[in-house]
Amino acid sequence: MQNDQLLPHLYRTEYRKIIAVLARRFGFEHIQIAEDIASDTFLLASETWTSDKVPANPAAWLYTVAKNKARDYLKHNAIFKEKVSGPVIAASSVTGEADIDLSEENIKDSQLQMMFAICQPVIAPEAQIGLALRILCGFGIDEIADAFLSNKETINKRLFRAKEKLREQNIKIAFPQNKEINQRLETVLLTLYLLFNEGYYSVSSNTNLRKELCLEAMRLNYLLLENKTTDLPIVNALFSLMCFHASRFDARIDKDGEMIIYDEQDTSLWNDELISRGTNYLIRASRGDQLTRYHLEAAIAYWHTQKQDSAEKWESILQLYNKLLILEYSPMAALNRTYALAKANGKEKAITEAEKLTQLTGSHLYHTLLGYLYTAIDNEKALQHLHQALKLAKTTTEKNRIRKNMKALN
Amino acid sequence: MNDFLLIFRRDAGFDAQLTPAQLQAISKPWQDWMGGLAAQNKLADSGNRLAVEGKVVKPGNVITNGPYVEIKEAIGGYIVVRAASLDEAAELSKGCPILTTGGNVEVRQIVPMQP
């Protein structure tokens, strides 16, 4: 690896490990110190590593420096406590040569526990995703800002407030108790699901960054699968869903970074290995009798990996969307169900159902869908809906796609 | 928006006569109808089906088997929908598959208990 790429690469892979281990050791209330030590460690590396002087084992170098800095902090802190609060309290707190364990196993445990610590309903989902990207994935503030189409200042504020809130709630970096694991896991999975979607559906034009968000969500999900306690059907279902979606990474974006819709994708670019992995995890998800939205979404995604259009395919997708909506309403599911209905039972039927979705008339996607449904049935109406969609669309990519549909009508 | 209970009534013998394959065939229009309500975000509770067997308890320790000795129609199931008015709730019920097999839908607004 080139030297100028080495440090950014290590930052991405090692920063998060150091911070998880240190924060777990110090407690969440001192996470800022863990972050400072991790940042200082990388700063020192950038200052002392020159092109002809890079340590033989760079990761080990970083660990040693971080460990020493952490020990210094603990020692200093113990002396400070002794002087300020007297020996009684100092004796009860951890002192001096306490071990900072940067073994692979402890890193994994720490990251897993950190995941549970960050994913808390007391902070908003976008703050959870931001914290996850910063602390669990080692993303820079500018990258997070880019992913959220925001600026550094806003993201910094958001993360700061989220950490304050978690501190107020006295959040511990620990594995949840057995009896609360299902409930806690739900929050964690939702964050990973949203993190993946942020990458998969984001309007950010940085396609590399978007792909990385997806891969990070998968890595964190896999961390849960590697642990016996959290290797549960629902966790497998979400991982299966991500594998199926990820299988279309290369087919859904063209060379200019524009989205290619499902119907127009080159299916030879679909990744067979990810599809078969997705299928395996879906089978593993079918143990037990739990049927969650992730199960249903994974099953829908499974059918989408079938290249051959068939009545069975679209009828299955329709029924899965029915089940998904009955379980939990979402605007996207309502629109996709209507599309599946058109594929399975014809456009006329779908139009009748689409006209009932009056709650979605403010969405450009709704009008794009009606534009598609009316095409070849009533082109005049199709055009009206596409005009409406164009008015409501926000991004250039969306507008271009709608214009393309309009051109096809003329 | 208020919640309305939709009560499905049909000939009690109807379900009992069905083969598993027929039951399967019946479930599709129900899933389609309820999926349609859910797509409009108007399904408040997906409700339940009720077993054919039942007992009716009357004053004086009298217990009879099922309500259908005296009435032909029995409750087969229920769901809860969200609607702006009783009229809208009734309108939503028009697509219910029970209507195609001789049953009917009773629509009643749910009035929350005052604490």
Task: Given the cut 0.85, state whether the ipTM is greater than it.
Answer: yes
A335, A365 contact by CB (below 8 A): yes
Q: Which residue of A has its CA nearest to B80?
A: A326
- Region A61-80 average pLDDT: 87
| Distance separating alpha carbons of residues A111 and A126, to the nearest angstrom | 19
**The pLDDT of residue A98:** 59
Q: The tokens 């057995």 sit on which residue?
A: A178
Residue A204 belongs to some domain of the structure: yes
A120, A187 contact by CB (below 8 A): yes
**The pLDDT of residue B16:** 67
B58 strand-pairing partners? B62
Domain range spanning residue A58? 1-102
> Is residue A138 scored above 80 in pLDDT?
yes
Q: What is the DSSP string of A165-217?
A: HHHHTT---SPPPGGGHHHHHHHHHHHHHHHHHHHHH---S-HHHHHHHHHHH
Q: The tokens 């952490």 sit on which residue?
A: A70
**The pLDDT of residue A89:** 47
Percent of chain B beyond pLDDT 70? 91
> Is residue A75 scored above 70 in pLDDT?
yes
Band the pLDDT of A178: cuts 50, 70, 90: confident
Shortest Cα distance, chain B CAs vs residue A144, angstroms: 33
Residue B83, helix vs strand vs coil = strand
Q: At which of A102, A123, A157 does a domain end?
A: A102
Among candidates A319, A323, A338 on the partner chain, residue whose Cβ is nearest the Cβ of B39: A338
Contacts of A252 (CB under 8 A, 6+ apart): A259, A260, A262, A265
What are the chain A neighbours of B49 within 8 Å (beta carbons)? none
> Is residue A103 scored above 50 in pLDDT?
yes
- Region A182-211 average pLDDT: 86
Band the pLDDT of B68: cuts 50, 70, 90: low
Domains, in order of start, for chain B:
2-109 (3.30.70.1060)
Residue A195 belongs to some domain of the structure: yes
Q: What's at A373, amino acid-wise?
A: L
- Same-domain status, A109 and A152: yes
Question: Contact A334/B28, CB-based, under 8 Å?
Answer: no
Instruction: Say how many domains are in chain A.
Output: 2
What are the chain B neighbours of A318 within 8 Å (beta carbons)? 32, 35
Shortest Cα distance, chain A CAs vs residue B16, angstroms: 25
Question: Contact B32/A356, CB-based, under 8 Å?
Answer: no
Q: Which residue has the higher pLDDT, A223 or A100?
A: A223
Among candidates B31, B36, B41 on the partner chain, residue whose Cβ is nearest the Cβ of A319: B31
Question: Contact A353/B39, CB-based, under 8 Å?
Answer: yes
Q: At which of A204, A223, A242 does a domain end?
A: A223
- Same-domain status, A108 and A211: yes
Shortest Cα distance, chain A CAs vs residue B108, angstroms: 21
**The pLDDT of residue A90:** 43
Question: Contact A325/B46, CB-based, under 8 Å?
Answer: no
- Same-domain status, A122 and A183: yes
Q: At which of A41, A76, A102 does a domain end?
A: A102
Q: What is the 3-state secondary structure (H, E, C) of A145-179?
A: HHHCCCCHHHHHHHHHHHHHHHHHCCCCCCCCCHH
- Region A149-175 average pLDDT: 92
- Same-domain status, A53 and A134: no
Among candidates A323, A327, A334 on the partner chain, residue whose Cβ is nearest the Cβ of B39: A334
**The pLDDT of residue A121:** 87
Residue A257 belongs to some domain of the structure: no
> Is residue A235 scored above 50 in pLDDT?
yes
- Region A295-303 average pLDDT: 97
Residue A276 belongs to some domain of the structure: no
Helices (H) and strands (E) in chain A, counts: 19, 0
Residue A363 belongs to some domain of the structure: no
What are the chain B neighbours of A358 within 8 Å (beta carbons)? 40
Please tell me the pTM assigned to this model: 0.88
Shortest Cα distance, chain A CAs vs residue B60, angstroms: 42
Which residue numbers of A have CB closer than 8 Å to B's CBs? Answer: 318-319, 321-323, 325-327, 329, 333-334, 337-338, 353, 356-359
Task: State the average pLDDT for chain B.
Answer: 89
Band the pLDDT of A329: cuts 50, 70, 90: very high
Task: State the average pLDDT for chain A.
Answer: 90
B76-97 pLDDT per residue, tens: 999 999 999 999 999 999 999 9
- Region A51-61 average pLDDT: 87
Secondary structure element (H or E) that encloses residue B47, with its range: strand B43-49
